[in-house]
Structure 1
């Protein structure tokens, strides 16, 4: 009996310290979840750094990851078009947390010149994380979801969310001040696909892109020709490549429009090179690159 009692005492701390198994849809949401969850969670990301969530095809191993998770964190707003099929395939019975549930979505402003083969996001732009004020809402939603999964750690999740939101508030104030110092006429950018609508709306920037909201949308020759004319007319100064996109179309477009390369932007994924290894780094890197080209 004494041996059993001692064994139980030894096991109790291990059980108490068991981390909540969490699966996140892609790298940005995974990073935010780790910030809120700290050492109370074990987070696996289905779509990794430098990978494109628009074209993600879940593997049997991915389905198994989700099946064994207690919490599934997604961005929402239709970004993960594959998510309903995957949760059914995994027989997922845990808690699904939609990080963007309280975000006021932007309507998609498309002109109908993109061809898409089934990864349409509908009438709203799902790239809400490009406004730090929206990521504050992500933090609250994730903290609430993790608190449901691990009530004993609820206060810690709330405290970590509050600290993270403080960093986001500082980052937003810095970006607003920096962009305000650039004349509105120079706040124009050419990039791969229409992923930066929330950044554009928050800081009054004009983004032009040959592709639509999804990277699977293919720009027609007519649309590219029209975009070249528009870039020349509006005197756009720089073209930016995305870390998970094919550069060839933009290289051709930039050359024909006479636009200089402005560097790399991080749209739908963190980077594996350390330059945008977290959401905070991603946002600061994007703002710094954009300001350098605009000025």
Structure 2
């Protein structure tokens, strides 16, 4: 069903809508585009903000297709957060069609972004959250937006933001310690798509992938062949698949190169509540542990 059809259905048939959990009158209603961002908004907002995520746990923010209930969430939101940098290609259309009157807050504004070549074009890598250094920028932008929407609770948001920034510093230090113990020439990993660029830049890890920054792209046979040759030449020992993506292509490349499975990484989505990555902090530390263990084994 098209986005237009879904939104018409939302307007015509309220009975079809899935209602979000009830919130008290004192709570600010916030909507975030995907689970990682929603969790960080929750960390800053605390019990003063009710946060709904459009893309659910284990969901892919690149290929997300909004539903009528998403349109309703947006229309009722006091503030909407997106990561930006081209991640949510579907969001502008949804906001326009839903009737949301505000302007979404771009959490990644001010991040020191990286660019890469893809299909002959220079594009910005949107996966900024895979470095907690970048997420500190998110936190500052979220605090500012929540305080503007709810000035009475600004002091609470400021205190929460400062406390969470310290956690992010601790996460960064944890990664530097764990990854730093792996020889640099062994810090090479095969993943499903190119989503770990900021992690790689921060901790000097090389990530190879058959797909570019978006899972919507398709890998050309010639590019896959070149990647296989590169993996063999650089002696990449381990591959990982991602919780929100189809693992078949990376498994195909791994089979051709002899790379061994390292497990699952949480790249663009948190796990469900009982999984290993239900919050951003747990997701990041889990990924660090998985990567460090695999690279150490490979050395």
Same topology, TM > 0.5: yes
Larger Rg: 1
User: More deviation in 183-192 or 76-85?
Assistant: 76-85
Q: Is the 8 A contact 2:195 2:213 kept in 1?
A: yes
Using a 3 Å threshold, how does the CA distance of structure 1 residues 16 and 279 change in structure 2: closer, same or farther? closer
**Kept after mapping to 2: 8 A contact 1:106/1:124:** yes
SS in 1 for 2:134: helix
The answer as to whether partners of 1:190 and 1:240 remain within 8 angstroms in 2 is yes
The answer on whether the counterparts of 1:50 and 1:271 sit within 8 Å (CA) in structure 2 is yes
Cα offset, 1:110, TM superposition: 3.2
**Distance in 1 between the 2:138 and 2:149 partners?**
17
In the other structure, the counterpart of 1:110 is: 118
Pick from 32, 47, 58: which aligns with 2:66? 58
Alignment of 1:161-200 (within 5 A): 161-200=161-200
Figure out how many residues of one structure are paired with residues of the other and give that number: 273
Match of 1:203 in 2: 203
CA 1:188–1:206: 2 relative to 1, 3 Å: same
Quote how far apart the aligned CAs of 1:180 are.
Answer: 1.6
Instruction: Structure 1: give runs of 5+ residues left out of the alignment.
Output: 1-14, 113-119
- Residue 246 of structure 1, CA deviation: 0.7
Q: 1:47 aligns with which of 41, 55, 59?
A: 55
Q: Secondary structure at the match of 2:54?
A: strand
Task: Provide the residue aligned with 2:18 in structure 1.
Answer: none
Where does residue 293 of structure 2 map in the other structure? 292
Q: What is residue 115 of structure 1 aligned with on the other side?
A: none
| Alpha-carbon separation, structure 1, partners of 2:69 and 2:116 | 34
Q: Aligned to 2:30, which of 22, 33, 36?
A: 22
**CA separation in 1, counterparts of 2:70 and 2:36?**
17
* Bigger mean CA deviation after superposition, 246-255 or 144-153: 246-255
For each residue in 1:172-227, what CA deviation from the matched residue of structure 2 results, as whole angstroms up to 9, or x when unmatched? 01111221221111000000000000000000110000001000111011111111
Are the counterparts in 1 of residues 115 and 125 from structure 2 also a CA contact under 8 Å? yes
Counterpart position of 1:91: 99
Alignment of 1:127-166 (within 5 A): 127-166=127-166
CA distance in 2, matches of 1:145, 1:246: 35
Which whole-Å CA distance do the structure 2 matches of 1:85 and 1:175 have between them?
37
The answer to whether the 8 Å contact 1:192/1:241 transfers is: yes
| Structure 2: gaps (5+ residues) | 1-22
Q: Is the 8 A contact 1:17 1:40 kept in 2?
A: no
TM-score by length of 1: 0.90
After TM superposition, where is structure 1 displaced by more than 2 Å over at least 4 residues in a row? 109-112
Per the alignment, do residues 18 and 231 of structure 1 end up closer, same or farther by CA in structure 2, a change over 3 Å counting? same
2 CA distance for matches of 1:89 and 1:17?
Answer: 26
Maintained 8 Å contact 1:95/1:149: no
Greater Cα shift, 264-273 or 126-135: 264-273
Equivalence for 2:284? 283
Cα deviation 1:57-108 (Å, max 9, x = unaligned):
1112211110011100111111111111111001211352111011011012
